[in-house]
Amino acid sequence: MASKRFPIGELIKTLKKTFEEKPPFITRLSRKRKRDPFIILMGTLLSLRTKDELTEKVIDRLVSYAKTPEEILSMPEEKLKELIYPVGFYKNKAATLKHVSKEILERYQGKVPESLDELLAIKGIGRKTANLVITEAFKKPGICVDTHVHRISNRMGLVSTKHPDKTEEKLREILPKKYWTIYNTLLVTFGKTICKPISPLCSECPVSYLCKKVGVTKTR
């Protein structure tokens, strides 16, 4: 188990100086679309296993045709597939968008639910997606754990977990709630630019002095 003495405040403060003005895709989408919950939900679902640059182009194209559950549900599935191609697993994602839209219409009167439990009750929405929606669309506290957050939290010695769900559980215990939302925002950009999966750029890292480098065998 990670030490609770880890200087979390210092970590956040230092990362904010470098990365706060370089937000990840979903944060940019949230700002661009005025925190529209359904557009944020669609963008998050489309972004899974797809590069941000591609997802950004696709969500802009999709929104020009449909921006509500009603419009997604009334669209022919072949048209939907055409609009979201070539995101990864676009056929499966088209079906997921259809199903999620149907659930939101039938169970929540067309409004994206604001609670984590209600979002997770919809098949196709996982914890990463649900946490992003409640933080970016509704400004509620949540901890979104993607591959970057999971990797870096373990690498730095903040937690010691094998699965993202466990990482989220531990972070909820040790992270002050005021840092929950920004933690993902900062670590995603940090993970894409500096703290990479293989051979991280430790020589350029602003928080290298805090990091235990757990599992790191090669650095640059």
Picking from 181, 132, 174, 182, the residue whose alpha carbon sits closest to that of residue 156 is 174
Amino acid, single-letter form, for residue 23: P
Can you give the CATH number for the domain in which 154 is found? 1.10.1670.10
Whether the link from the prior residue into 23 is cis, omega within 30° of 0, is no
Same domain membership, residue 120 and residue 55? yes
The answer to the question of residue 88 being in a domain is yes
The answer for residues whose C-beta is within 8 angstroms of residue 185's C-beta and 6 or more apart is 20, 23, 24, 27
CATH number at residue 92: 1.10.340.30
Please indicate, yes or no, whether residues 85 and 173 belong to a single structural domain of this protein: no
Please indicate, yes or no, if residue 103 is contained in any of the structural domains: yes
Residue 76 belongs to some domain of the structure: yes
Q: Are residues 109 and 52 in the same domain?
A: yes
128-140 per-residue burial string, b: 16 or more CB within 10 A, e: under 16: bbbbbbbbbbbee
- Clarify whether residues 112 and 170 are in a common domain: no
Q: Is residue 29 part of a domain?
A: no
**Which of 120, 136, 152 is the C-terminal boundary of a domain?**
136
Task: Choose the final residue of a domain: 136, 157, 177.
Answer: 136
Q: What's the number of domains the chain is made of?
A: 2
Residues 82 and 97 in one domain: yes
Q: Please report whether residue 200 resides in a domain.
A: yes
Same domain? 48 vs 19: no
**Angle, CA 48 vertex, CA 63 and CA 35 arms, to 5°:** 45
Digits of tens for pLDDT over the chain (220 positions)?
A: 444 589 999 999 999 999 988 899 999 999 999 999 999 999 999 999 899 999 999 999 999 999 999 999 999 999 999 999 999 999 999 999 999 999 999 999 999 999 999 999 999 999 999 999 999 999 999 999 999 999 999 999 999 999 999 999 999 999 999 999 999 999 999 999 999 999 999 999 999 999 999 999 989 9
Report DSSP state, residue 209.
Answer: G
**Domain check: are 155 and 132 in the same one?**
no
72 and 123 co-located in one domain:
yes
Residue 144 CB-half CA count within 13 A:
27
Q: Which of these three, 104, 136, 168, is where a domain ends?
A: 136
Domain around 48: 36-136
* Contact (CB, 8 A) for 105 and 73: yes
Q: Is residue 132 part of a domain?
A: yes
The reply to whether 216 falls in a domain is: no
